[in-house]
Structures are given as structure tokens and as C-alpha cells.
Amino acid sequence: MMAAKRAPKGLIDQLPEVRGRYSADAALAKLTWFRVGGPAEVLFRPADEEDLKKFLAAKPADVPVTVLGVGSNLLVRDGGIPGVVIRLGDAFADITVDGNTIVAGGGASNLKVANVARSAKLAGFEFLSGIPGSIGGAVRMNAGAFGSETSEILVSATAVDAQGRLHTALAADLGMSYRHCSAPDDWLFLSATLMGTPGDVGEIARRMEDIRDMRETVQPTKTPTGGSTFVNPPGAKAWELIDRAGCRGLKRGGAMVSEKHCNFLINTGTATAADLEGLGEEVRRRVFEHSGVKLQWEIRRIGVPAGPPVKEFVEEAGS
Ligand SMILES: Cc1cc2nc3c(=O)[nH]c(=O)nc-3n(C[C@H](O)[C@H](O)[C@H](O)COP(=O)(O)OP(=O)(O)OC[C@H]3O[C@@H](n4cnc5c(N)ncnc54)[C@H](O)[C@@H]3O)c2cc1C
């Protein structure tokens, strides 16, 4: 949903009238888990679905649009994001239960959905309680943990495209695989219909507690981070490859490879997005040199750099 070119000054003046809120030069660092990155040229918080659809249908076609969930899988570069960044608020966070299904808004938090499922005695949603994102982000990333992933409980999703047209697609038609969804890039997920199975509330609650305990033991959950940095390559664990390549604790500026879980990068307090991205590329280089595996980013890096772009690691021909 992004174009590299920054739109001319006074972008808000070119945008349609909306009932929601536009903010120019809006800080995004506080809206992402890494707590780094530059501003959105314009941040748009739509009042509701109608407002969003009208905005998309009426905005100039050359204005790039980027969708933000709760920023738990995003590294926003230091120069910020040109165009309009859309953040879904409370009007997109409804959660309703109907029998074994739950319809959740794209802006609903995974944890709330898991809590609602527990109260409704529906099993299958427990894994969501440990993934700190929104339902829209869970569908886009096919988020998963502890042997389950979003595609397994997803029945269908409703989205709006860059022209404001509505689409509803069955999960089977969304091409979901490990941390991937093949829905068109310009689809913004408005809601998801998810299905569970009747379960015992005590067992569901215990599984959610186990998940919380496990995460607190193995993940740096109290430090700004973006979760798993790289996808696990087929048949291997990214963290093991990173550990064996000697990268645990590796630093660049204020960025560091977590000592606790070395597939997590952390912001020790002073990191820039360039520090984090540069460190990630250094990890890729060292892992490739050590094991011949080229790690792929799971974290989505978006926006423009403030200085020279971070050099992407590319293996030398014949290496
Ligand atoms: C401590 C920690 C632990 C984590 N553990 C896990 C884990 O166990 N498993 C796992 O899978 N992930 C994990 N993550 C990563 C992250 O939580 C997931 O990828 C999550 O699904 C991202 O959701 P989000 O709302 O934060 O999306 P964002 O990070 O804001 O965005 C991620 C992508 O989704 C897109 N997106 C967001 N909302 C929408 C929408 N409504 N419509 C269309 N596209 C949208 C964005 O444009 C972007 O491309 C972890 C992250 C952290 C910080």
C-alpha cells in the first residue's frame, strides 16, 4: 500500500472531508512496539466503516495509503511514512459471539478476542492471547503461536480496497500460509469471522495462563521489541541459527539482539529504526556466513529512511 514518493505539502488540503480525524506530521513511534521511527505525513483515524469507505473512494489516486494495526510487527523507518497512514480505532473493535463463531473487528485486540472466547466457553482462540496484535494484523500476517495459527480458526474476512470497495473472502481463498496471506496488498481488513469449538472454561483459562507464563519466561516482553524478527526457515529455528552464529547480545547503536530470545531485536532505549534494521541485516550476514541460511524478515519494514538507506545483506556470487 506504499509508494516511495512523498506527496506535495499540505496533503490534508487535498483529502476529502471526513468525520474522523486527520493529523499532519503525526508521531508514529508511540504507536509501534519498537517505539522508533518517523512521523506519518497524515494520520487518519476514521470515525467508522462508512467514513473509511468514503475516504478511500474520494482520496486522490496518487496518495499512498498504509494501514497500521497496533504496530507489533512493524519497523517504521526514521524518515516516516509518506501519504496517509490509517489507524483503526474503537469503531472497528467490536466483538460479537454467535454460537461457535466470533465476529471481530479488524481493530479488535487479539487478547480481547481470546478473553471473549473464554467467557463464551469457546476453545481454539487461546493462542491469540499471546500475540500482541489486532485481528486485522493477525489475518494479514497469519499470526500464530504454540502450534496454532489464524488460518485455522478463520472462516472469512471482510475487507475494503484502496478504492473503497467491499470484499468478503473465505479463509480458503485468502492463500494463507506460514506468516503470510495472499489477499491483495491494498485490502484493509474490517472484520474477521472466526470459529471455535465448545470447551471447558477452566481448561481454556489454564491454557491461556500457560501461554502467558511461557512467554514471560522466554520472551523480552517488557522491552520495546517487534517480536520474531525473521521467519523460521523450513526445518530450522531462526533463533538457533542466530545463536549459533554468535549474535546473542549483538549491538548496534541502541539496538540489541535480545539475550533472552535471540530472534527478538530490542530497543534498549536510544535505538533508531536504522540501528534496528542495520542490526537485523548484520544478523542476516553472520547467519549466512555461519550456516549458509539466508534469513527472511518477518517484521515489516515500512516508510523511508532519514539518511542513507540501510544496506541489505546480499550474498556474494559463489559464496
Ligand atoms: C512481544 C511480541 C511477541 C510476538 N509474538 C508473536 C507470535 O507468537 N506469533 C506471531 O505470529 N506474531 C507475533 N508477534 C508479531 C505480531 O504481534 C503479529 O504479527 C501481529 O499479527 C501483528 O498485528 P498488528 O495489529 O500489530 O499489526 P501491525 O504490526 O501494525 O502490522 C503488521 C502488518 O499487518 C498489516 N495490517 C495491520 N492491520 C491491518 C488491517 N486491519 N488490514 C490489513 N492489513 C493490516 C500492516 O499493514 C502490516 O503490513 C509478536 C510481536 C511482539 C511485539
Sequence ranges of the domains in the chain = 11-90, 91-204, 222-302
Catalytic residue among 109, 134, 228, 258: 228
Q: What is the pLDDT along the chain (319 residues), one digit of tens a residue?
A: 444 455 555 999 999 999 999 999 999 999 999 999 999 999 999 999 999 999 999 999 999 999 999 999 999 999 999 999 999 999 999 999 999 999 999 999 999 999 999 999 999 999 999 999 999 999 999 999 999 999 999 999 999 999 999 999 999 999 999 999 999 999 999 999 999 999 999 999 999 999 999 999 999 988 999 999 999 999 999 999 999 999 999 999 999 999 999 999 999 999 999 999 999 999 999 999 999 999 999 999 999 999 999 999 998 765 5
Q: What is the mean pLDDT of the chain?
A: 95
Let me know if 21 is a catalytic residue.
Answer: no
Pairing of β 40-45 and β 144-145: unpaired
Amino acid at 232: N
CA–centroid distance, residue 67 to ligand 1 (Å) = 11
- Assigned CATH for 222-302: 3.90.78.10
140 lines ligand 1 (CB under 6 A): yes
Percent helix, strand, coil in the chain (nearest 5)?
Answer: 30, 25, 45
For ligand 1, say whether the CB of 76 is within 6 Å of any of its atoms.
no
> Measured between alpha carbons, how far is 264 from 238 in angstroms, rounded to an integer?
10
pLDDT, tens digit (0-9, with 9 covering 90-100), for 286-295: 999 999 999 9
Is 151 a known active-site residue?
Answer: no
Q: What is the pLDDT of residues 200-256, one digit of tens each?
A: 999 999 999 999 999 999 999 889 999 999 999 999 999 999 999 999 999 999 999
Does 136 contact ligand 1 (Cβ within 6 A)? yes
Q: Which residue, judged by its Cα, is nearest atom 10 of ligand 1?
A: 143
266 touches 312 (CB < 8 A): no
Residue 219 Cβ inside 6 Å of ligand 1? The answer reads: yes
Q: CA angle, 151 as apex, 51 and 164 as ends, to 5°?
A: 20
Active site residue 19: no
Does residue 130 contact residue 212 with C-beta atoms inside 8 Å?
yes
Q: Is the pTM of this model over 0.85?
A: yes
Q: Which of 41, 126, 281, 298 is catalytic?
A: 298
Ligand 1 within 6 A of CB of 272? no
Domain with residues 91-204, CATH architecture:
2-Layer Sandwich (3.30)
Give me the CATH code for the 11-90 domain, please. Answer: 3.30.43.10
Q: Look at residue 5 in the predicted model and tell me its pLDDT.
A: 54
Residues near 31 by beta carbon (within 8 Å), at least 6 away in sequence: 68, 70, 71, 87
- Tell me which of 45, 77, 140, 179 is the catalytic residue: 179
Looking at residue 316, what is its pLDDT? 74
Tell how far the Cα of 171 is from the centroid of ligand 1, in angstroms: 18
